[in-house]
């Protein structure tokens, strides 16, 4: 009752209550309600499940990649480095480890029936004029007996004296009897020589067959080839050459077709005119597929079965002198 009777006493305590409330929400008072520091509490710690971590506005951080990705990247870089090192070592050791390249030539021939024998005897000679874009040249071939050759050796006996006469090669000088006799002796052999059997095929010192009817094993001469001994009118023949290159396992094939066009006189000599063509081949790495080669026409002496004349791609070969010419020159 005393309190009700004296209402003036209540206002005296109200300022203290309001001041305490204001102090709780005043940031200058250090109130725990407005502080970033966690307030002490006596209850159990709140669970972190579902809590979103807070980032500092002043220093944002980039998330690091998972550890397994970093390990995979290191392994890939290491593997690439090992492969590059291995490739460099193989490139350096390839000339030592790999065998040197080698090649072999195989000739597949159609059946060939010859109607003549080799008609060159010791002492015979052939002189050819070769007209090249850079100028004419003379080549002399001599038939002779030679140790280690069971037949006739045909060799290139071209000398500097003969080459010096290229300014007037239309008529080659006839050899003296002494030089003709020396052709059957044993002068130094040229690197360009071949031992021929009576069938025209190349022979070894043991009389074993070398080469083929298309060409010789060590050189390719247009002046004489074994198939010339089979010529007749309406004659056809074909062959295929296949060159293999190891250790690369490459094959280069070329088909060749031959046929007689006619038989007529050429420069006073009875001659077979022969066409040599190179038809396309279906085999990979074929020269016939790579480029078209125009046919070549040859004039072959019907009696001696040697080349009289040929012309191909700007190169002309002519027999200008031979031991079987009566005047030692084509008339």
What is the chain's pLDDT, residue by residue, as a tens digit (331 residues)?
A: 444 444 444 444 455 656 665 665 555 555 554 555 555 555 555 555 444 455 554 555 555 555 655 777 777 788 888 888 877 877 776 666 666 777 677 889 999 999 999 999 999 999 999 998 888 999 999 999 999 999 999 999 886 444 444 434 333 444 433 343 443 344 444 558 899 999 999 999 999 998 899 988 767 788 999 999 999 999 999 999 888 877 767 778 888 999 999 999 998 999 999 999 988 765 555 444 445 678 899 999 999 999 999 988 888 999 999 999 875 444 4
Task: State the pLDDT at residue 27.
Answer: 54
Task: State the pLDDT at residue 227.
Answer: 96
Task: State the pLDDT at residue 223.
Answer: 93
Task: State the pLDDT at residue 39.
Answer: 53
Tell me the whole-structure pTM to 2 decimals: 0.61
The Cα 190–Cα 154 span in angstroms is 10
Q: Which residues pair with 106 in a beta bridge?
A: 242
Task: State the pLDDT at residue 326.
Answer: 74
């Amino acid at each position: 009752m005393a309190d009700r009777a004296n209402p003036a006493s209540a206002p005296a305590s109200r300022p203290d209550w309001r001041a305490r409330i204001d102090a709780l929400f005043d940031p200058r008072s250090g109130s725990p309600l407005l502080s970033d520091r966690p307030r002490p509490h006596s209850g159990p710690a709140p669970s972190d499940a579902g809590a979103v971590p807070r980032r500092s506005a002043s220093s944002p951080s980039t998330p690091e990649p998972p550890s397994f990705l970093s390990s995979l990247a290191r392994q890939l870089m290491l593997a690439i480095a090992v492969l590059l090192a291995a490739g460099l070592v193989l490139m350096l050791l390839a000339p030592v480890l790999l065998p040197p390249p080698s090649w072999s030539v195989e000739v597949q021939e159609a059946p060939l029936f010859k109607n003549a024998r080799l008609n060159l005897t010791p002492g015979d000679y052939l002189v050819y004029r070769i007209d090249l874009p850079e100028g004419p040249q003379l080549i002399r071939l001599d038939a002779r007996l030679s140790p280690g050759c069971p037949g006739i050796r045909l060799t290139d006996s071209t000398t500097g004296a003969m080459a010096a006469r290229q300014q007037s090669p239309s008529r080659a000088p006839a050899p003296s009897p002494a030089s003709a006799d020396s052709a059957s002796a044993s002068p130094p052999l040229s690197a360009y020589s071949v031992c021929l059997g009576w069938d025209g095929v190349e022979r070894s010192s043991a009389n074993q067959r070398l080469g083929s009817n298309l060409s010789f094993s060590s050189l390719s001469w247009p002046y004489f080839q074994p198939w010339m001994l089979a010529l007749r009118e309406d004659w056809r023949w074909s062959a295929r050459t296949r060159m293999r290159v190891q250790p690369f396992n490459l094959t280069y094939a070329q088909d060749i077709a031959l046929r007689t066009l006619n038989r007529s006189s050429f420069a006073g000599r009875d001659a077979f005119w022969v066409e040599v063509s190179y038809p396309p081949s279906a085999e990979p790495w074929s020269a016939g597929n790579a480029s078209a080669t125009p046919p070549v026409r040859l004039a072959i002496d019907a009696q001696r079965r040697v080349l009289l004349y040929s012309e191909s791609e700007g190169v002309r070969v002519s027999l200008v002198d031979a031991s079987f010419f009566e005047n030692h020159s084509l008339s």
